[in-house]
Amino acid sequence: MVAESLAWAIFLMPLLSFLLISLVIRPFLNRIPQLSGYLLIAALVVALVLSVLVLVRSNEGADLAFPAHTWLDLGDAAIQIGLLLDPVTCIMVVVVTGVSLLVQIYSLGYMKDDPGISRYFAYMSLFTASMLGLVLSANIVQLYAFWELVGLSSYLLIGFWHDRPSAAAAAKKAFIITRIGDVGFLLAIIYLFYHGPQFAAQGLNPLHIPDIWQAAQPLATGGAVLGGTALTLVCLGIFAGAAGKSGQFPLHSWLPDAMEGPTPVSALIHAATMVAAGVFLVARFFPLFQEARDAMMVVALVGGFTAFAAATLGLVMDDIKRVMAYSTISQLGYMMAALGLGAFGPALFHLFTHAFFKALLFLGAGSVNHAAGTFNMRYMGGLRRQMPWTYALLLVGGLSLVGIVPLAGFWSKDEIITAAWLGEGPVDPRVALAVFVLLVAAALLTAFYTFRMIFLTFHGDFRGGGARELQDAEAEGIPAPTAVTDEVHLAESPRVMVAPMLVLAIAAALAGYLANPQWVKELLGIPGHWFSYYVESALTYGHAETAPFNWPVAVISTVVALAGIGLAWLVYAQRRPSADTGEVLETARSPETDETQGSADETAHGHEHAALAPLRSEPLAKAGPVHTLLYRKYFIDELYEGLVVKHVFYRYFAGLTDWLDRNLVDGIVDLSAWLTRQIGRLVAQLQTGQVQFYGAVIVMGAVLILVGYLAFGAGIGE
Amino acid sequence: MLGAQDIVFWVLAVVSIVAALGVVVVKDLFRSALLLAVVFIAVAGFFVLLSAEFLAVVQVLIYVGAISVLFIFAIMLTRNVREGNLPNRLQIPAISVSALLLVGMIVAAVNTDWRPIPEAATDLVESAQTQAVSGVAEAGNDGGSTGIAELLIGEFVLPFEAVSLLLLAALIGGLALARSRGT
Amino acid sequence: MSLESMLIVAAILFAIGLYGALARSNVIAVLMSIEIMFNAVNLTVVAFARYVAPLALREEIGSVLTGQVFAIFVITVAAAEIALGLGIVFAMYRNTESVTLTEASQLRH
């Protein structure tokens, strides 16, 4: 039996760290900024140990249901603070604390020279605490509170370098766009609260999550407390919130911009954990979705479409982090599609493996940035010679993402594609087939953009890094890109950064097969299909079963993945002299001395034209309008900002509120000021300075009281 | 039947009211002060009528003996005797407010059932009040009545001390105010 | 002679004092009027002590003299008030060579 306080401690450790850092270390001990990092890491170690303990106990079937503590009793509904330690939560706390711990260790190196390091770790503590609170919540209002806290910490961390206008804008964008989705979630909560009496009639609390599950189930008398259109609407509201957080189309556009934050933040928040909160939310309310087929179909289609569309955008980005951002959106699309198809276990399994390999890829990108001084892949190249460890680890992460046997990504992605292939879920088989096609196409694109990234970054010759990019920007007269420095030092990153990546790489390679062994009855004490069975045991209502391993699907997805890698190799890695205007992808191999920093710069100068070459000859640019369409992200930003924001909001909505403010609100304010002044003038006349006048007024008051008392009051003695 | 007490009462009532009116309307301030002393003496007479002889003595000593004299000093010192006691511009409001209040008070006094003490207890109360200073030990079967002195340092010791403090403060305040600025 | 007649006399004295306090321009006259009001109040208190209050009070504090004690306190406070009032009059006279209350309106605004 795990004591309740121990489970709470998982959440309280990072919270305590947040309070200590922001109230003690930042104000008083800011001279030793690394201290806050160590504090958070210590807190997370404790939290991780506790999380694993909880997971083990939960797996043994221990009773982890604790009664919730009522915070606010609202009649039919009660806002409670409670723990919901079902298998989904147990997996999530381990993933969150584990990935967060590794990312914090990495941050010690990555953020070493940043003056705001204490603030950074304070935000990180707040984020980790909020995320843990989110997954542990047993009450939907409690969950919503943490949901918004997670959004807040995301905002703070994206805008961490708030002196950069682009970072500030990205933070605002993230906050506002996710807020649009959150409105749906909030409406769903309000709907549940509003229908409290119907819940109460069945002895249910409309805000308690297991009670909400139960409410969606058919009653013996027919119908359900929460059913029909109402259920569909509630599900769609929850999905809107999830889509905002998880960057599903059409609310995805904030996630690539969120890469303005420090890279470890991108790894932890915008790849591994927070964006997975949307998937978690849909999984949390999966028993509701199962009863609402229309909502399921929407989830499946939006997920499938997002998986494909985001992958196409990943093809053409120059910024290594943006490639990964679109990759993240795409993979989240896979998870959503899986949930929509009723594949509960595969979705969470993919969430689990994705957390590891995507965090690894982001940390690798940060490591590359540390060396090259830029995130722009056009100015990288050839880094595998200087950064062998980063190269190897990124290769593992990339292969895992692409889904190559036997790395983790293969197993989880394969389960999702199998579910779409079989189409046995609650969704129409035609929808399932459409989703299957989208997901397979996305798998091809995933393989292509992943290896495009690896080839551009690590193969070929070095193309100058941040120093070169700044020069080019100056030469073309455009403002210097942000987040680019001219400090290029081509060398492997320090051990404190490589070690967490190594751990993540091991997880990204092995977690898939170890957590969910196929084909065998038992592997190293882990029973076959452990993860699926374990996670699916969370469904106290409804039912989901992971399909067994499917050979045709595995072959299809492997072939597709290899085809994508092959294409990428043909386009980007094959050494070939360029046919047109002397542009070459791979210039003559630089002398060995390139490996030292000074001569690397020198070489970059020497081979100016050669180094510039890839900038002008993106092979995909030959696709013309299609490339432009993709490069401009389907013009969605233009649509949102140009049309929706500028015209609808600025002109009409803002115009209306502006008019109202000028005339109505200001009018009322001015009127009240004018009235006050006039009354003041009037009353000032009374202040004569004549004591006797005051006395007469006082006596007049006494007379009035006396008259009132005699006329209406009870006489003395009566 | 008009008893001796009633005759005395009416005489005192007429004297006090006429004198009080004189205080507020007579133009010569010095005469006002003298009439004020008459009011004080008449009130002392009322106290005797109400069998509060001790208070009557206190009234004569403090009001007539001290306060009236103090007023006369003030009038002489501020050389206002000739300038006189002029009315200000608030005649009509002052009269109406006072008259309204008077009517209200009289209505209240007449209309209220005061539930006076029964006739039988009158003797006891009168004897207790008459012997206010010493107190009555053996007044019938209703028990005795403590004297004023014991009350002041017993039941009412806290207000008594507070008033002492107030007097001290007034003493110091009077000194501070009356002292000329230079010295 | 009865409680009511005593109260009415006291009320008349009080009203006269009030009129004087409100309608005289000389500070000393105002103070004298206030003394009349004090006396009227004392008269009321003692009249109540004589006619109404004592029996109930005796149950509690063992005396019928509460009203007289009250009156003594009022006299004391009145004495203190006069001492300070006349002190203020002197200060005012020293500063402005006048004891006219209508001219003393410096506290305005």
Q: Is residue B139 part of a domain?
A: no
> Confidence band (pLDDT; 50, 70, 90) for C12?
very high
pLDDT in tens, C13-68: 999 999 999 888 888 889 999 999 999 999 999 888 888 765 556 665 566 677 88
> Confidence band (pLDDT; 50, 70, 90) for B99?
very high
Phi, psi of A376 (to 5 degrees): -80, 120
Q: Please indicate, yes or no, whether residues B172 and B92 belong to a single structural domain of this protein.
A: no
Domain end call among B33, B67, B99: B99
> Which of B85, B102, B144 has the CB atom closest to C26's CB atom?
B85
Q: Are C28 and B80 in contact (CB under 8 A)?
A: yes
Q: Please indicate, yes or no, whether residues B94 and B160 belong to a single structural domain of this protein.
A: no
Cis peptide before A197 (omega within 30 of 0): no
Phi-psi region of A67 (alpha: psi -120 to 50; beta: other; left: phi over 0): beta
Q: Are A337 and A439 in contact (CB under 8 A)?
A: yes
Q: Is residue B51 part of a domain?
A: yes
Q: Please indicate, yes or no, whether residues B63 and B5 belong to a single structural domain of this protein.
A: yes
Is the pLDDT at A172 greater than 80, yes or no? Answer: yes
How far, in Å, CA of A260 to CA of A253, rounded?
13
- With contacts defined as CB-CB under 8 Å, which chain A residues touch C21? 692, 695
Query: In sequence order, which ranges of A459-547 are alpha helices (DSSP H)?
Result: 465-476, 495-515, 530-536
Q: Is residue B6 part of a domain?
A: yes
Q: What is the mean pLDDT of residues B6-26?
A: 91
Interface test with B, best of C28, C33, C60, C92 (most B CBs within 10 A): C28
> Which of B114, B135, B177 has the CB atom closest to C88's CB atom?
B177
Is the pLDDT at B16 greater than 50, yes or no? Answer: yes
Helix or strand holding residue A72 (H, E)? strand A69-74
Size of interface A-C (CB pairs under 8 A): 27
Q: Please indicate, yes or no, whether residues B85 and B9 belong to a single structural domain of this protein.
A: yes
- With contacts defined as CB-CB under 8 Å, which chain B residues touch A703? 97, 100-101, 104
Which of residues A463 and B10 earns the better pLDDT score? B10
Is the pLDDT at A596 greater than 80, yes or no? Answer: no
pLDDT in tens, A384-393: 778 888 888 8
The answer to whether C105 contacts A690, with C-beta atoms less than 8 Å apart, is: yes
Tell me whether strands A69-74 and A522-523 are parallel, antiparallel or unpaired: unpaired
What pLDDT, on a 0 to 100 scale, did the predictor assign at position A649?
73
pLDDT in tens, A350-385: 888 888 888 888 888 888 887 777 777 777 777 777
Cα angle: A594, vertex A598, A601; to 5 degrees:
70
Query: Cβ neighbours of residue B65 under 8 Å, at least 6 residues apart?
Result: none
What residues does A83 pair with on adjacent strands?
A137
Is the pLDDT at A711 greater than 70, yes or no? Answer: yes
Q: Give, in order, the Cα–Cα distances in Å from A32 to each of A25, A28, A100, A116, A118.
A: 8, 10, 22, 12, 9
A528 burial (CB, 10 Å; 0-12 / 13-18 / 19+) is: middle
Q: Please indicate, yes or no, whether residues B3 and B93 belong to a single structural domain of this protein.
A: yes
Q: Please indicate, yes or no, whether residues B83 and B151 belong to a single structural domain of this protein.
A: no
- Where in A410-466 does DSSP place strands (E)? none
Q: Is residue B112 part of a domain?
A: no
How far, in Å, CA of B127 to CA of B129, rounded?
5
The answer to whether A699 contacts C104, with C-beta atoms less than 8 Å apart, is: no
Q: Give, in order, the Cα–Cα distances in Å from C62 to each of B121, B145, B146.
A: 15, 6, 6
Q: Please indicate, yes or no, whether residues B87 and B1 belong to a single structural domain of this protein.
A: yes
What pLDDT, on a 0 to 100 scale, did the predictor assign at position A480?
66
Helix or strand holding residue C86 (H, E)? helix C66-96
For chain B, the distance separating the N- and C-terminal CA atoms, rounded to the nearest angstrom, is 65
Is the pLDDT at A309 greater than 70, yes or no? Answer: yes
What residues does C100 pair with on adjacent strands?
C26
Q: Please indicate, yes or no, whether residues B90 and B149 belong to a single structural domain of this protein.
A: no
Q: Please indicate, yes or no, whether residues B81 and B165 belong to a single structural domain of this protein.
A: no
Q: Which residue has the tokens 């004298």?
A: C32
How far, in Å, CA of B166 to CA of C73, rounded?
11
What pLDDT, on a 0 to 100 scale, did the predictor assign at position B161?
92
> Which of B93, B104, B111 has the CB atom closest to A696's CB atom?
B93
CATH number at residue B90: 1.20.120.1200
> Confidence band (pLDDT; 50, 70, 90) for A599?
very low
Residue in B50, B4, B22 with CA at minimum distance from that of residue C7:
B50
Number of domains in chain B: 2
Q: Is residue B121 part of a domain?
A: no
How far, in Å, CA of A468 to CA of A381, rounded?
13
- With contacts defined as CB-CB under 8 Å, which chain A residues touch B115? 717
Q: Is residue B158 part of a domain?
A: yes
Q: Is residue B138 part of a domain?
A: no
Q: Are A77 and A479 in contact (CB under 8 A)?
A: no
Residue numbers of the domain that contains B31: 1-99
Q: Please indicate, yes or no, whether residues B92 and B13 belong to a single structural domain of this protein.
A: yes
A103 HSE (CA, 13 A, CB side): 35
Q: Please indicate, yes or no, whether residues B87 and B28 belong to a single structural domain of this protein.
A: yes
For chain A, the distance separating the N- and C-terminal CA atoms, rounded to the nearest angstrom, is 71
How far, in Å, CA of C65 to CA of B124, rounded?
12
Q: Is residue B77 part of a domain?
A: yes
How far, in Å, CA of A251 to CA of A249, rounded?
5
For chain C, the distance separating the N- and C-terminal CA atoms, rounded to the nearest angstrom, is 51
Mean pLDDT of chain A: 80
Tokens encoding B160: 């008594």
Q: What is A294-311 written as a DSSP string?
A: HHHHHHHHHHHHHHHHHH
Q: Please indicate, yes or no, whether residues B5 and B59 belong to a single structural domain of this protein.
A: yes
Domain end call among B99, B124, B157: B99
What pLDDT, on a 0 to 100 scale, did the predictor assign at position A620?
64
Domain end call among B65, B80, B99: B99
Q: What is the ipTM of this complex?
A: 0.87
Exposure string of C42-77, with b = 16+ CB inside 10 Å and e = fewer, is: bbbbbbbbbbbbbeebbeebbbbbbbbbbbbbbbbe
Size of interface A-B (CB pairs under 8 A): 39
Residue C96 CB coordination number (10 Å): 12
Contact map slice: B 136-165 vs C, CB within 8 A: 142-148, 150-152, 155-156, 159, 163
Residue in B148, A602, A25, B54 with CA at minimum distance from that of residue C64:
B148
pLDDT in tens, A187-209: 988 888 888 787 787 778 888 88
Which of residues A103 and A650 earns the better pLDDT score? A103
